[in-house]
A and B are shown apart, each in its own frame.
Chain A
Amino acid sequence: MSRAKWILLAAGVVVIAAAAIALSSGSPQPGLVGNRDVEKLRAEGARIVDVRTAAEFTGAHIEGAENVPLSDIAAVASSWDRSIPVVLYCAVGDWSDTAAEILTSMGFERVYDLGGGIVQWDGALAGGAGATVASADVETNGMPVMYEFYTDW
C-alpha cells in the first residue's frame, strides 16, 4: 500500500473515532431517554418535570424535579423558555408521553420523555420519608411470596 493510501486510511479512522466519541458523549436526541440521559440533560440545565398529581409527587419524586400535573402543563409551560431542554416523567411513561406531545406542539425545541417513568428510575429520590432509597430488603415470613406491583389508574 502506498504512503498516500496509508495516510487516507489513518485519516478515515480518526474521523470515524471522532464521530463515535461525539455521538456517545453528546446530548441525547429529543424523544424517549433513559436514566443516564437524564443526568446528562440535568447537567445541561434541563428542567426535570414530574407530570403526576401533587399527591404522587409528594410521595416520592426524582431529586430536583418540579411538579406540574399533566392537566396544568400547557398553562404552566406557556411562560417557560422554549429553548431550555425539558425532561418529562410520570409513573410508567404514558402521561409523560402525552405531555411531550403538548410541549412539542407548543414549540419547545428539546423535549425528552423518560421511558418507563419513575418506576424504573434507579437514581436519587426525594420526598416521602425524605430519604434517598437505593435498595430495599425483602424478608419472608417463612412462606413463598407473590408481589403484585400496580398503579391506581
Chain B
Amino acid sequence: MEPVVDRLRTEYEGVVEFRLVNAETDAESQALATRFGLQYVPSFVFLDSDGTQRDLVVGEVSEEDLRAVLDSLQ
C-alpha cells in the first residue's frame, strides 16, 4: 500500500491530512487503534474536518476506492 498512499498523500496535500500509524509501536498507537475498534491491519479510518468518523476500510484497498472515499470527505 505504501506507494499508493505516498502518491495520494502528495496529491491531497493541503486537502486531506494523512496520518500513518504503526499499530504496534507504543501504547498511544494501540489506544488509537482501540478507539476506532480496529482488529486488522492495514485499516484506514476517515474523519471529516470536525473529527467525526466518516468511513472505515479494512484490508488492502485499491487506489480508486481510496480516492473515492477521500473525495467524499471534501
Contact = CB atoms under 8 A, between A and B. Distances in A.
B33 A149 contact: yes
A149 B23 contact: yes
A147 B21 contact: yes
A150 B33 CA distance: 10
Interface in B14-72: 14-51, 54, 66, 69-70
Contacts, number: 155
25 contacts: A52-B24, A59-B27, A60-B25, A60-B29, A91-B24, A119-B33, A120-B39, A121-B34, A122-B34, A133-B31, A135-B31, A136-B31, A140-B17, A143-B17, A144-B16, A146-B17, A146-B46, A147-B19, A147-B20, A148-B1, A149-B32, A149-B41, A150-B22, A150-B41, A150-B42
A interface majority secondary structure: loop
B44 A147 contact: yes
A16 B58 CA distance: 40
Interface of A: 52, 56, 59-60, 91-92, 116, 118-122, 125, 127-129, 131, 133-136, 138-152
Nearest to A147: B45
Contacts of A146: 16-19, 44-47, 66, 69-70, 73
Interface residues of B, number: 46
Nearest to B53: A138
Contact of B44 (A52, A122, A148): A148
Nearest to B55: A146
Contacts of B70: 144, 146
B24 A119 contact: yes
B1 A143 contact: no
A151 B21 contact: no
A121 B69 CA distance: 27
Nearest to A128: B27
Contact of B27 (A122, A127, A138, A149): A127
Contacts of A141: 17
Contact of B46 (A56, A120, A121, A145): A145
